[in-house]
Structure 1
C-alpha cells in the first residue's frame, strides 16, 4: 500500500520557472490525504516558492526544498542542512571570475542576490519562481545560515559542473537542477536523504513510497522508493534509474498516475 508520494516540481509538475499547478492535481492530493497517503513536494526551489505554489493545500503537505537542504511543513522548519560559510565565500569569488554565471543564495527564510547582478534572472526568480528575494550590496551581509548556492547560466551548466567538481567535489554536493541551474549543497545532502528522513519520521518504508522526477537531482530519491517514476520528458539517466514511466509533464503525467492510484 502506498503511504507516501513525493514529486519534483520543475519539469515534472510544471514547466520550469512557472508557478500555476493544475487545480485537479491539488484536489487529487487532498483526496489521497483523506485516504491516509502523505504528499511531499521535493524541489531545487527555495521553500518560499514551494509554499506559494501549493498554497491552497499547504497545511496538508511536506516541503523538501533546496534539493534536500530544507525539510519543513506548514509554517515550520523541521530540518536544515547549512553549508560551510568560508567555503561558500571562496566559491563565490571563483564564480565572480566567470562572467557568464549568476548566483542566487538560499537561507531558510529568504533568498538573496547581489544588486545589479542579472536583471533578467532577478525578474524570473521573483515573478516566475516567486521567491521571497532580498537584494544585497554584497553576499557577506547575509547573517543566517546558507543552505544552498545556486549558479545560473542560461546556455546550460554541464561544463561548469565539471569545473566545480574538480575543485569542490569532495566538499559539497553538486546537483544539476534543470538545464540552466547548478545547485551547491552540503556534501551528504540531497532529495533522497530528505525523503529518507521523512520516511523514518513517519514510519514509512521505501516499498510504501512513490516518487516522480525528471532531472539528475532526482536520482537519489528514486532509490528511496520502489514506485519510482520518470516523466516522459525526463533525462535519459533518470528514465534508466526509474522503475516506471509516466506521461510528460505537459500531459499531466503525474496527475494521471495519482488518479489511477485513487
Structure 2
C-alpha cells in the first residue's frame, strides 16, 4: 500500500465525549504506524495541551492552534503568529465590552482577567488545568501569539465579525470562540506539512468533528466526519463514520480502506 498521511483532530475525534482515548482508536493508530503510514494531530489545542496524548500514541508531529503552528518530528516548520496591531484592536474592543481574552503562545497562555467562570467552564470541559493560566493583558506585546480565545456569547458574535473583519472567529463552545489570523486554518497547516514531507493532497486522510475542521475536510483528498459532528461538518466530508464513542475512528479507517 502506498504511504498515506492521516491527520486526526483530537477533541470529539480521537478523544471521546469524556476526553478519553478509546482502546479501538489507540489500536487503530498503532496499526497505521506499523503499516508505514504517517500520522499526525491537527488540533486547535496548544502544543503543551497534547503532551500526554503524544506520548501515549507515540506521535511527534502535529498542527496546533488550528493550523498556525506546525511541528514535524520535533522541528518547527511553520509559524503564523497573529498581527500585534490587530491584537491591540481586539484587546481594546473586547475590554470595552467586558469580554475576557486568552492569548496563546507556543509555550504559555495568559488571560486578560483573573478567575472567570466562563473560562473555567470551557477549559475544564477540555480537562485543561486552568491554574496553569497566568494573567497578563500585555502578553502579546513581546510574545508571538498564534491563537486567541475570546469569551462572548453567540448573540454577541456579530459585534466582532463586523468590527474586526481582518480576523477569523470560530465558535467551539457556548461561551468561547477561537480567534485566528484571516485565512488561517488547519488546511493551511496541512499544506505546509505535506510540502515538507512530500505528500500530495490525494494522499491525505483527515478526520474531524467540528466547525474548525471544515477547511481541513474540504482540503484533504479523503475526508471523514465523525458521527457526532454537526450536519454542517458532515456536509463537507467525503465520508461520515460512527460517533467517536462508538469506535468511530476504527470504523472510519475501515471505510476508507486503511484498516481491514
TM-score band, normalised by shorter chain: 0.7 to 0.9
For residues 32-75 of structure 1, what are the alpha-carbon distances to aligned partners after superposition, in whole Å with 9 as ceiling and x for unaligned? 112221111111111111222232234x3421111111111454
Query: 2:120, 2:130 within 8 Å by CA — same for their partners in 1?
Result: no
- Please state how far the C-alpha of 1:217 moved relative to its aligned partner: 1.1
**2:159 corresponding residue in structure 1:** 163
**1:41 corresponding residue in structure 2:** 41
> In structure 2, do the counterparts of structure 1 residues 190 and 10 end up closer, same or farther at CA, with 3 Å as the change threshold?
same
CA distance in 1, matches of 2:176, 2:11: 12
CA distance in 1, matches of 2:84, 2:131: 21
> In structure 2, do the counterparts of structure 1 residues 151 and 106 end up closer, same or farther at CA, with 3 Å as the change threshold?
same
CA distance in 1, matches of 2:81, 2:134: 20
- Please state how far the C-alpha of 1:78 moved relative to its aligned partner: 2.5
For residues 189-230 of structure 1, what are the alpha-carbon distances to aligned partners after superposition, in whole Å with 9 as ceiling and x for unaligned? 100011111112111112111111122211111122221111
TM-score by length of 1: 0.85
**1:147 corresponding residue in structure 2:** 146
Query: 1:176, 1:215 within 8 Å by CA — same for their partners in 2?
Result: no
> In structure 2, do the counterparts of structure 1 residues 56 and 15 end up closer, same or farther at CA, with 3 Å as the change threshold?
closer
SS at match of 1:112: strand
- With 203-212 and 108-117 compared, the bigger mean Cα shift is at 108-117
> In structure 2, do the counterparts of structure 1 residues 30 and 9 end up closer, same or farther at CA, with 3 Å as the change threshold?
same
SS at match of 1:223: helix
**1:107 corresponding residue in structure 2:** 105
Query: 2:225, 2:240 within 8 Å by CA — same for their partners in 1?
Result: yes
Query: 1:72, 1:78 within 8 Å by CA — same for their partners in 2?
Result: yes
- Please state how far the C-alpha of 1:107 moved relative to its aligned partner: 0.4
> In structure 2, do the counterparts of structure 1 residues 241 and 19 end up closer, same or farther at CA, with 3 Å as the change threshold?
same
Query: 2:113, 2:137 within 8 Å by CA — same for their partners in 1?
Result: no
> In structure 2, do the counterparts of structure 1 residues 202 and 219 end up closer, same or farther at CA, with 3 Å as the change threshold?
same
**2:91 corresponding residue in structure 1:** 92
- With 236-245 and 7-16 compared, the bigger mean Cα shift is at 7-16
CA distance in 2, matches of 1:33, 1:193: 24
> In structure 2, do the counterparts of structure 1 residues 44 and 23 end up closer, same or farther at CA, with 3 Å as the change threshold?
same
- Please state how far the C-alpha of 1:234 moved relative to its aligned partner: 1.0
> In structure 2, do the counterparts of structure 1 residues 179 and 205 end up closer, same or farther at CA, with 3 Å as the change threshold?
farther
- Please state how far the C-alpha of 1:22 moved relative to its aligned partner: 2.3
Whether 2:11 is the aligned partner of 1:10: answer: yes
Give 2:220's match in structure 1, choosing from 218, 222, 225. Answer: 225
**1:190 corresponding residue in structure 2:** 185
CA distance in 1, matches of 2:151, 2:11: 15
- Please state how far the C-alpha of 1:166 moved relative to its aligned partner: 1.0
SS at match of 2:50: helix
For residues 78-124 of structure 1, what are the alpha-carbon distances to aligned partners after superposition, in whole Å with 9 as ceiling and x for unaligned? 3111011121122122222334x432211011111245241563476
**2:81 corresponding residue in structure 1:** 82
CA distance in 1, matches of 2:104, 2:138: 13
**1:25 corresponding residue in structure 2:** 25
Query: 1:105, 1:146 within 8 Å by CA — same for their partners in 2?
Result: yes
Point out where structure 2 has 5 or more consecutive residues left out of the alignment. Answer: none
**1:68 corresponding residue in structure 2:** 67
Point out where structure 1 has 5 or more consecutive residues left out of the alignment. Answer: none
Query: 1:80, 1:108 within 8 Å by CA — same for their partners in 2?
Result: no
